Amino acid sequence: MKILSINSGSSSLKFCFFEMDNETVIASGAIERIGIDGSSYKIKYKGDTISEDLEIPDHDHAVQILLEHFLSLEIVSSYEEIQAIGHRILHGKDIFTKSVLITSSVMEQLEKLVDLGPLHMRANIAGIKAFQEVLPDAVQVAVFDTAFHQTMEEEAYLYPVPYQWYEKYGVRKYGFHGISHQYIAEAVKKLLGKDHFKLISCHIGNGGSVAAIRDMEVVDTSMGFTPLAGIMMGTRSGDVDPSIIPYMMEKEGKNASEIVDDLNRVSGVLGLSEYSSDMRDLIKKCEEGSSKAILAKNKYVRRVVDYIAQYYVLLEGVDVIVFTAGVGENNIPIRREICEKLSCLGVKIDLDSNNICGDFVQLNTLDSAINVYVIPTNEELMIARNTLKFVNR
């Protein structure tokens, strides 16, 4: 059984092609800068990387280029080998609490959700339509980044604002990175060999979120109505006083959308350090003694620790803390500093183990009160697994 996982962004299309009998990757890659000058594609297959710069005006052309190369590179002998396609969808509101087979009615509902994430949702829908055009007989499944979080109870997902905002306009916490948090939860369940556990999953990369999970169900998560809420991120502010928005509108002569754009694009690690949004660059700058870089790094660590501590209390203790995504999997000093600040909860890690990057590793010592792991996430495989459930029904 061969399944194609697709992540369509506003100007990109990332893919991973799986043989699901043993969950191995056949081919992977990305098409970048769709509709923008300098567009290109990169395909990895049998240890080789094929790349080319060429004009790619829209997602329809991107899909055509991808599938033509599937044939020319003999990744498949015919399109019939692509039996199913799983599409990562940013937002399912509280309508979609799990992955669904894509039908005309599902497409109509997705169109109505565009306002909740215009750039991503339009791209997600464009990706679906492009593949439907070329592969009409393949099973197509929508896998939602918000779905895994829909087990939260009202007191977790509702904001203390007029209730009518929720009833009329759907203003509530939705949470994101759900595909990654689900993958981590399934990995921990398999690791522990039991159904009952308390997990804090830390997906920390350029974007980041923390999730409190009990027995495979999300109790709470840091991102909110949009991915802007929660911990400090590469360019996103995370939680701030909302009164900052009208205040800065007046001071800067900007409208609300422009200030929110500033909070999304030039805040976070980049904003405080005034140097870079990349944590690798920031650590180097810290080693050089930059006070702003050190401030940004310390604030980042503090925000992650704040959520872990909050969720420790919410879960009434925790069995496992997991670090994943770019920073979580690869940044040695950030993991160490977070764990050091959690020592009051009984967290103890082995520094030699913490020096391992990009691989599965248990960080905690034998006398640690909490197990701490680094588990590389695999959102593409999670999309494929969700898609497989709809094949041959």
Q: How far is CA 10 from the centre of its chain?
A: 15
Of 335, 315, 337, 319, the closest CA to residue 327 belongs to: 335
Q: How far is CA 193 from the centre of its chain?
A: 26
Question: Residues 287, 291, 293, 296: is their CA dihedral positive or negative?
Answer: positive
* Tally of CB atoms within 10 A around 24: 9
270, containing H or E segment = helix 268-273
Q: Of these residues, 48, 115, 137, 145, which one is catalytic? A: 145
Asked whether the beta carbons of 59 and 34 are under 8 A apart, the reply is yes
291-314 and 279-287 helices cross at what angle (nearest 10)?
120
Of 264, 261, 174, 176, the closest CA to residue 225 belongs to: 174
Tokens of 45: 């297959």
Question: Residues 19, 41, 121, 159: is their CA dihedral positive or negative?
Answer: positive
How far apart, in Å, do the first and last CA atoms of the chain sit?
Answer: 14
Torsion (CA) 235, 377, 107, 121 in degrees, nearest 10: 10
Annotated catalytic residue 145:
yes
67, containing H or E segment = helix 59-72
Q: In what order do the strands lie in the sheet with 217-221?
A: 217-221, 208-214, 198-204, 320-324, 371-374, 361-362
| Catalytic positions, written as ranges | 145
